[in-house]
Structures are given as structure tokens and as C-alpha cells.
A and B are shown apart, each in its own frame.
Chain A
Amino acid sequence: MALPEGFVRVPITEQDPKVRAGNFEEVCLGYTDEEAVLEASRCLNCKKPMCVEGCPVRVNIPGFIEALKGGNIEESYSRLSACTALPAVCGRVCPQETQCESKCIRGIKGDAVAIGKLERYVADKARSLGMKPVVTAAPNGHKVAVIGSGPAGLTCAGDLARLGYDVTVFEALHEAGGVLTYGIPEFRLPKEKVVRPEVENIRSLGVKIETNVIVGKSVTIDQLMEDEGFEAVFIGSGAGLPMFMNIPGENAKGVFSANEFLTRNNLMKAFRDDSDTPIYRPARVAVVGGGNVAMDAARTALRLGSSVTIIYRRSEAELPARAEEVHHAREEGIVFEMLTNPVEILTNDDKFVRAIKCVRMELGEPDQSGRRRPVPVEGSEFEIETDAVIMALGTSPNPMLSSATPGLEINKRRCIIAEETTGKTSREGVYAGGDAVSGAATVILAMGAGKDAAAAIDEYIRLKRTNL
């Protein structure tokens, strides 16, 4: 039985799967003005907005939607941008279905309000109208260094700049944005249209961004604090180190980490004719893993002209990727081999990948994560012919910075140890957050950590000032 009007969300236009499989244009085309206002009108403006509880940065969701209902973009954007530095990004890549939208009262008897799509609409519209976030405080002259320009670093920098701090972000790569720039592909998160303008907005708050600086190599945290006058440091260096399976054949030609494949394509723009960076475009690609990274690598390979198989050791229900991404991948023609685990990569005489040897798995007892542990089915070995293998098995924090910073404590997983609510580390004046602390997680959690740390850094510097 179809739900009555008001219970169903306003549908959004997407590029046709057959067409988009051959291009790098965005999949989702976003709401039109009328659609956005119509969808906004579904928001009940609850007295006790549960959606805000579901958001790690506590965006004023009913507030910005309320302004949108009346078509007041300026007010809507000003409410939104006061809470988040990256609304056009979050509107596109946040797992709203498990966060804000999962708490929406509308969701009990019908579809939740499309909060993410509305956030995206407001941010995109504001950008097209040339609106910028506003600075609230006068400069206070205190210097703070931020390491890494991913969502954690950018959020922390933006918040501190609003409070009047003199903030410099140091980024190892030649372009700011972290995973938003090097990892998440163009068709989900356009770089020129979305990421760069949001980074520019943060610059417009007075934040300086110095690219090509690897803290721990080009300069140390001690040098920043002792020689360059930074009173506090925030570490948002992410979890960029790729994992491999350590199976035979993994160093053959045609085996890549998802990070390498995505970096070549996104940061280095290898998909464009005018880029000097090469990328491997064979007829067949196998991607190992089931997270967002695996989906992104698979859909990128598809767009570069390969036919793609995703190999995942658990079943459909355990796929860690967002449902939307899996759905999009399927629509585009990506094949899934579930309950399958690689054991060896086979090569031809020239040591190029020829096939991947796998075993079938079945689900056994639940493991620590609560998910049923996959166990190999004996004698079930089989080969999947492929010309390339992309390993998307997860990443861990890079020890380059921690090993060059005496007194900065890390745990067994090489994550920086930091206080949950403040990001305070074992070093005075040094705070950390995002994937560098949690291990690979999400954009919004990294932003939440950046936000909390900004507040803690502000308090730390104020306290130091009054104690002087």
C-alpha cells in the first residue's frame, strides 16, 4: 500500500546508471529549488529534535530546515555554517541513514526527512550565490598549528579561526582536503565544485594552509612550538597507511592498494587526459573488501573501463559500506562475490596478475565485533580470472609523526592516545582527533573530534593567559 503524501520523501534525480558508469560526473544531481522547499516542509520542527542527537557535530538541523521552508537561503546557510565547516561535503558523504535521519520522527511511519540532501542543497545554493561563512571574533594574536587538512583538521582550524586564533594548517600532500581530496572519488564528491570551495571558505575565515609540509619530517612539533611560536597543536593526520593481506603474489604487477589506485585517480587526476600520472586500466579488476573504500575503488575502475568484481569474505548483511553505495555499485554493473576470501594471486609468465585464487567462506560464531566470523569451507578453492587486484582492507595511522614526537603516546594500533571529549594527548598543548585517534572512521566523526578539540584548545590557551 502506498503511503500518503507527506510520508514519502521527495525523490531526487540521479544520473542514469548506464551513462554514469562511463563518466566521472556526480551520480546524484541534487534537489531543485522547488523540490528542496517541498522536502523541507516535511520537517515537523520537533521541540526536542532527535536528529540533532544523532549528529556528531550537533548541526542545528530543524533550524536550517525551518529557514529553508520559507525559501530563506541566507538564513538557512548562516544557521548551517555556524555548526559545520563542510556542509556540502557532509550532505554528500555522511551516513545519515544511521545518524540524524535514523532518529527522525518522520521515519517511524514513512521516510525520514532527507536531511543530508537538504544540507547539500543549502550548501550548494549558498555557494552559487557567493555566500561565505562569517567570522565572529576579532583576531586575538594567539597562534595554533593544525597538522593535516582532512575533515578533522579543517573543522578544528575553522572553529579556532572564528574564535580569533591565528591558525596555520600544515598538509603533507600538495592539495588540502585529506581523504576528501585523495580518497573519495569525483563522482561522489566533486573536487573543483565542492571540496575546493569548502576549503576556500575555511581560508576565508583567515586560516592559512601550508601544503607540502610533513610534520615530523619537514618540521617537528617541537620546532613549531619552540621556534615558530605556536602555543598549541592539533593533530588530524588521519589513518593513511594501507594494509595488505600478506598472501603469495601480492607484489605482482597489477596489485594495488585502494589508496594508491584512488590517489592516482583523485589527487593526481589520472583519469584526465592532461594528467601526467599513469593509471592501470585493464579489462578486468577484482577489488577485495566491502567498505566504502572498496566501493569507491570498484566504481572508479568501472569508470576507467574495466569490468569489476568485488570480493568480500562475509555476507551481504555485514557489508560495512553505506547501503546507498552498494546499491549504486550494483546498478552500475559491479559483480559481488560474497563469502569469498583470496588466498593467492596468480601471475602469468611476465609476472602480471592473471587470476585470484579464493576460497568460499561460511559464517560461524560471532566474533568480538558481534558479526559472525567467516570460516573457510575446506576444498572450496577456485579461481577468478582478473588482470588487476585492488586491496581495500582498511588503513591504520601513519607512525611518521608520532615517532618524531617524543612523549606523544600511541596505542598498539598506532593510534594516538587522546582524551575522548577534548582530544588532549600526553603532550602539553598537543591535541589530536579524527582517524589518527580512532582509526579509520567517518568524516563526521573526524569533524566532531576537530570541533571538540578546538573548544579544548581555546580553553587551554585562555587559562594559560590568565595564569600568566
Chain B
Amino acid sequence: MYLIKRKEMLHSTIFLMDIVAPRVAKNCQPGQFIILRVDADGERIPLTICDYNREEGTVTIVTQAMGASTHKLMALEEGAYVQDFVGPLGCPSDLVTGDIEEVRKKKILFVAGGLGTAPVYPQVKWLHEHGIEADVIIGAKTKDLIIYEDDMRKVCGNLYITTDDGSCGRHGLVTQVISDLIEKEGKHYDLCVSIGPMIMMKFCVLTTRKYDLPTIVSMNPIMVDGTGMCGACRLTVGGEVKFACIDGPEFDGFKVDFDEAMDRMKLYRTEEGRALLKFREGDTHHGGCGNCGGDK
């Protein structure tokens, strides 16, 4: 059992948790992820590591209540425990394992979409601690959904905020900001790191390709074990099959087959919807509405 030492609501459905997991906290690096299970019947949920405190032995995760399992997680308060917490999984970001002098020569742009802002943070913070200031674009649907703004400001170079509805910062998609920065505002970048919903990463890559700007993306497909054992997380990258959990989660965005990756996410959609309804409606959910198939 793993203690939830701190919980903070970042929005009505987005929350942060510091979880006590000393082995993970000791050995993790930015770019890696963990898998947790809320309770004994829970599924294994992969979440990117958003911060860690080696002294206190805690790991920070941020997520949004969407399916049944993440709703169950949100229902837990400080002082409660999650059943299982394992990691760090996947490879650390190339930025932290590569030659730091090479990284220093580069002008780096991070593009964070929605929840993806949380996993971008430890990378930007790590660079900052190594004397490198990276620029960051944070995009969200609307003002309320912008997270980590203040934390990010403390560790990054320029911070650009954009919202789909214009309620905060610029008005429009992150791709527009990338184009504006490069074409209108005279910025030059050598590397882009994009983390967010798959659809955002796909369009981000379509944009950066126009500028020959190498782009790293962090893939979050369906997973089970997270250790290379099941192949649920397989992706096509540069024409080869890769397992996101052991070969990734970060890949060269120009090589990822996003259409296939997004399509594979749809596999369990109806089952997940059913589980969520069951969770929300508890014993009152008996199916028969004709929509969800819960009676079948």
C-alpha cells in the first residue's frame, strides 16, 4: 500500500497527488512513468511522473478523472492509500541521459497540451537546474484547464499560454503559436518536445515538420504491465513495431504512425464507458437504456 501524502485539486476534475514510493523516487528520471492500481479490483493505470522528491521518497502524479478508475482515484483523500504503485517505467528523456554539452547548444521548445503540462514540468525543471532555459507553450481548451502555470514560469525561459476559446493568453491552438513564434516572432528552435493528447502531438508534428524542427513526443497508448510483457502498447515507429513501455514512452515524432496509435486507443471504448456508468450510478445501473449495452 502506498500513502497519498498530499492531494491538490488543480481543477474540478484534474488533481495532483504526492505518493510515497521511495524506490521509485530514488531511481526515477524525467520522461519516465509509473503504473498504479487504486484498489484490489483496479486496473493498472499508467501515469507520467510529474515530479519527485528523493529525500522524502515521494513521486508526484497529475491526472484527470475520466474513466471509472481515475474517478476512483480522485475519490481518495490525503492520508489514504493506493493499492499498488510501480516504477519508474520506460526510458528517461534523452535530454537527461544525453550529453549535457550537446543539449546546452540547443534552443528547446516544449509544447504542452492540457494534462501534458504536468509531465513537461520535470523536464523543464531539470534543464533549469542544469542552467538551460527552455521556452514553453501551454495550450488548453479554456482558462480553467491551464495547470502548472506558476511552477512552470519559475523554471522556463519564455512561457506562452494559449486557449482554444481565448479565455487566457493567446487565442487558438498550440500549432498556431509554433508557427507564429517561428514565422512572425523571429524565434529559432533546434528541438521541440511535445507532450499532450495524441491528436495534439500529431498536429504538432505536422507543423514542426514544415520547419524541419526535430520533435520528440511522449506516447501514452493502452498498457497492461508496462514491462514489455503484453504488447498492448505497441506502436509503429519508422515502420517498425515498438513497445511504448520499454522502447519509449518518448519517440521521434516524425516517425510515429499517429493514425494507427489513435485508432488503437478506441478498442475498449464501449467497455470503458460501461465501467464508468457502473461506477457513477452504482447499484442503480442495470442497463436496459438501450444505449450502453450494460444489460448485455
A, B from the same assembly: yes
CB closest chain-B residue, reference A227: B26
CB closest chain-A residue, reference B89: A217
Q: Of the listed stretches B36-44, B182-190, B248-256, name the one at the interface; the rest are far from the partner chain.
A: B36-44
CB closest chain-A residue, reference B243: A241
Given contacts A217-B89, A278-B271, contact A244 B231 (CB under 8 A): yes
Q: CA A280 – CA B272 in complex, angstroms?
A: 11
Q: Does B27 contact A (CB under 8 A)?
A: yes
In the complex, which of the residues A219, A256, A259, A268 contacts B44, with contact meaning CB atoms closer than 8 Å?
Answer: A268
Given contacts A174-B37, A253-B264, contact A212 B86 (CB under 8 A): yes
Q: CA A260 – CA B241 in complex, angstroms?
A: 16
Q: Does A67 contact B (CB under 8 A)?
A: no
Q: How far is the CB of A12 from chain B (nearest CB, A)?
A: 34
Contact between chains at A213 and B86 (CB < 8 Å):
yes
Q: How far is the CB of A138 from chain B (nearest CB, A)?
A: 31
Contact between chains at B41 and A274 (CB < 8 Å):
yes
Contact between chains at B227 and A276 (CB < 8 Å):
no
Contact between chains at B42 and A276 (CB < 8 Å):
yes
Q: CA A172 – CA B24 in complex, angstroms?
A: 12
Q: How far is the CB of A17 from chain B (nearest CB, A)?
A: 26
In the complex, which of the residues A214, A244, A264 contacts B241, with contact meaning CB atoms closer than 8 Å?
Answer: A244
In the complex, which of the residues A212, A218, A251, A277 contacts B260, with contact meaning CB atoms closer than 8 Å?
Answer: A251
Interface of A is mostly: loop
Cβ contacts A262-287/B at 8 Å (1 or 0 each): 01100011000011111110000000
Which A residues are CB-close (under 8 A) to B83? 174
Which B residues are CB-close (under 8 A) to A197? none
Contact between chains at B23 and A278 (CB < 8 Å):
no
Contact between chains at A260 and B86 (CB < 8 Å):
no
Q: CA A277 – CA B37 in complex, angstroms?
A: 11
Contact between chains at B275 and A172 (CB < 8 Å):
no
In the complex, which of the residues A213, A260, A275, A278 contacts B230, with contact meaning CB atoms closer than 8 Å?
Answer: A260
Q: CA A278 – CA B232 in complex, angstroms?
A: 12
Q: How far is the CB of B292 from chain A (nearest CB, A)?
A: 14
Which A residues are CB-close (under 8 A) to B86? 172, 174, 212-214, 218
Cβ contacts B116-146/A at 8 Å (1 or 0 each): 0000000000000000000000000000000
Which 4 pairs from chain A and chain B are nearest by CB?
A: A260-B230, A278-B271, A212-B86, A278-B268
12 extra interface residue pairs, beta carbon distance < 8 Å, beyond A173-B225, A276-B43, A351-B263: A172-B86, A213-B86, A217-B87, A218-B27, A242-B231, A251-B264, A256-B231, A260-B231, A263-B225, A276-B68, A277-B44, A278-B43
26 A-B pairs whose Cβ atoms sit less than 8 Å apart in the complex? A174-B44, A182-B229, A218-B27, A218-B87, A220-B27, A241-B228, A242-B230, A246-B241, A253-B263, A253-B264, A253-B267, A256-B231, A257-B232, A259-B229, A259-B230, A263-B225, A263-B230, A274-B41, A276-B41, A277-B224, A278-B43, A278-B275, A279-B271, A398-B228, A398-B229, A400-B246
Interface residue ranges, A against B (CB under 8 Å): 172-174, 182, 211-214, 217-220, 240-242, 244, 246, 250-251, 253-254, 256-257, 259-260, 263-264, 268-269, 274-280, 351, 398, 400
